Amino acid sequence: MKLRIATYNMHKGVSAFGREARIHDMKEAIAGLNADLIFLQEVQGRHDNHAKRHSAWPQAGHHEFLADDSHHVAYGMNAVYEHGHHGNALLSRYPIISLVNHDVSDHAYEQRGILHAVVQIDTVAVHCFVIHLGLFAASRRRQIHALIQTIVRDTPPGAPLIIAGDFNDWNQRLSSTLYEHLGVDEAFDMAGRLGSTSPASGSLKTFFAPWRRSHARTFPAQFPCLCLDRVYLRGFQVEQATVLQHAPWRALSDHVPILVNLEMPLDAT
């Protein structure tokens, strides 16, 4: 069973400081990925100020605007303010049979959540977690342990699992914890072992941690050098993993997306 997934921090659909609307170009680019599952962060559910400033601003929330008629959608509202709200979202070609958003905010200045959506793919229930962790290392450690507790509690042992999003883990210190407690693996590491990492991703070796497994560089979009965005998997095989550093992605957000082609064994449970 083939599956194509993507993860993308969309920077609320605007350029730096909100000067230009990028959401329409993002919709076209995301549709061009032809992905079955799209894990999105910084999704603007509502923003009255942007709606006033940009004449073509969508009336619907970005998750609904991007999903259109092609995908089902789950939205987890995390940050709420006077003029709107934003959070994480999952777009899925397959039915979403359940969803819950877990508040893992660590302090008043950063509202963070873990969106857990269960997607029914034929006879298999795939557990999807959309992540956007905090900017501070201590917050990320607590949030990753909250993620582990949530998965252990709410996900059947051995069930197919996808964890994707913006981990803000620039020094690459969180992966070992996920490997140890969840039995997951990281998409680019799996692809590297198979020799199926796309040249578009560049070398997997980084100057931050050359002595251990490294991840794909996705930030900043104009010159990606930090490994912030990840895809962790259980119950899947990776056919190819790619970082989309080419146009138009460099001009749409401060991150570039990751695209992964997967194969799920037919006997997955």
Cβ–Cβ < 8 Å for 230, 217: no
Please state, in angstroms and rounded to a whole number, the distance separating the CA atoms of residues 155 and 158: 8
What confidence score (pLDDT) does residue 124 get?
Answer: 95
Give every residue of the chain whose pLDDT is below 50, as ranges: 199-212
Residue 213 domain flag: yes
Q: Given CA atoms 28, 242, 36, 23 in this order, what sign does their dihedral have? A: negative
> What Cα–Cα distance (Å) separates residue 176 from each residue in 119, 127, 229, 256?
27, 21, 16, 24
152 φ, ψ (degrees, to nearest 5): -60, -40
| Residue 177, in any domain of the structure | yes
Residue 195: is it exposed, middle or buried by C-beta count within 10 angstroms (0-12/13-18/19+)? exposed
The domain of 114 spans 2-263
Instruction: Answer yes or no: is 83 within a domain.
Output: yes
CATH of the domain at 219: 3.60.10.10
Report residue 29 as tokens: 């680019």
Q: Are 13 and 29 in contact (CB under 8 A)?
A: no
Is 259 within a domain?
yes
Give the gyration radius of the chain's Cα atoms: 17
* Total number of domains constituting the chain: 1
The whole-number pLDDT of residue 218 equals 96
Is the bond preceding 248 in cis, omega lying within 30 degrees of 0? yes
Q: Is residue 233 part of a domain?
A: yes
The pLDDT tens digits of the residues spanning 219-242 come to: 999 999 999 999 999 999 999 999
Residue 268 belongs to some domain of the structure: no
Please indicate, yes or no, if residue 269 is contained in any of the structural domains. Answer: no
Strand ranges (DSSP E) for the chain? 2-9, 37-47, 72-81, 84-92, 96-103, 113-121, 124-132, 161-166, 185-186, 229-234, 237-243, 258-263
Query: What does the alpha-carbon distance between residue 142 and residue 16 come to, in Å, rounded to a whole number?
Result: 29
Task: Examine residue 48 and state whether it is found in any structural domain, yes or no.
Answer: yes
Q: The tokens 């508040």 sit on which residue?
A: 103
DSSP calls for 61-102: -HHHHHHTTT-EEEEEEEEEETTEEEEEEEEESS-EEEEEEE
Tokens read off for 86: 């934003």
For residue 86, the model assigns a pLDDT of 87
Q: What is the pLDDT of residue 208?
A: 32
